[in-house]
């Protein structure tokens, strides 16, 4: 059993699916956790895992998430310099922009949403002001 795990790890490492996070991604995650901390005070639980990447001007990062009816969600994003202002939005599976609660904090932002139907949704992160930057998305639920 242990041999299988080791073999699988090397297979993922060889294909590039396992990689270390950059310092900028770690800092972006720290910023996202700062935002999400406010929601944990309201009873939200942090979901295991996070998504990191690079935001570019006039480019949108989309992340697919599975949400469940009856739950409430907050999607928190943090960036690093030189990003100045970002936006977070939620879309349904057909690409329709959904009405959400918003927190805008310049290089940190969040969107709150409570789906009436379970299914796949998309979270977009947009760079509104500044230059290309690392970002990290985490989300909370209750």
Q: Which CATH class is domain 21-141?
A: mainly beta
* Distance, CA of 12 to CA of 56 (rounded, Å): 28
From 132, 74, 141, 82, select the one nearest 107 (Cα to Cα). 82
Q: Give the residue with greater pLDDT, 116 vs 9.
A: 116
* Distance, CA of 140 to CA of 39 (rounded, Å): 7
Cβ atoms of 99 and 57 closer than 8 Å: no
Q: Give the residue with greater pLDDT, 26 vs 9.
A: 26
* Distance, CA of 27 to CA of 3 (rounded, Å): 35
Q: Give the residue with greater pLDDT, 85 vs 24.
A: 85
* Distance, CA of 74 to CA of 96 (rounded, Å): 18
From 121, 127, 119, select the one nearest 53 (Cα to Cα). 127
pLDDT digits (tens, 9 = 90+) for 46-76: 887 888 889 888 778 899 999 999 999 999 9
- Taking 90 as the threshold, does the pLDDT of residue 140 lie above it? yes
- Taking 80 as the threshold, does the pLDDT of residue 13 lie above it? no
pLDDT digits (tens, 9 = 90+) for 96-137: 999 999 998 888 999 999 999 999 999 999 999 989 999 999
Burial 97-127 (b: 16+ CB within 10 A, else e): eeebeebeeebbbbbbbebeeeeebbbbbbb
What are the beta bridge partners of residue 105? none
pTM (two decimals): 0.79
pLDDT given at position 75: 96
Q: Where are the domains of the chain?
A: 21-141
């Amino acid at each position: 059993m242990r041999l299988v795990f080791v073999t699988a790890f090397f297979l993922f490492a060889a294909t590039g699916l396992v990689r270390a996070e950059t310092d900028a991604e770690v800092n972006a995650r720290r910023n996202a956790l700062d935002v999400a901390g406010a929601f944990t005070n309201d009873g939200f639980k942090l979901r295991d895992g996070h998504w990191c990447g690079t935001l570019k001007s006039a480019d949108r990062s989309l992340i697919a998430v599975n949400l469940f009816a009856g739950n409430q969600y907050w999607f928190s994003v943090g960036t690093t310099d030189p990003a100045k202002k970002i936006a977070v939005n939620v879309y349904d599976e057909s690409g329709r922009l959904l009405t959400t609660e918003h927190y805008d904090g310049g290089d940190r932002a969040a969107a709150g949403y409570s789906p009436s139907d379970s299914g796949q949704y998309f979270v977009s992160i947009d760079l509104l002001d500044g230059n290309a930057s690392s970002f990290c998305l985490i989300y909370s639920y209750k």
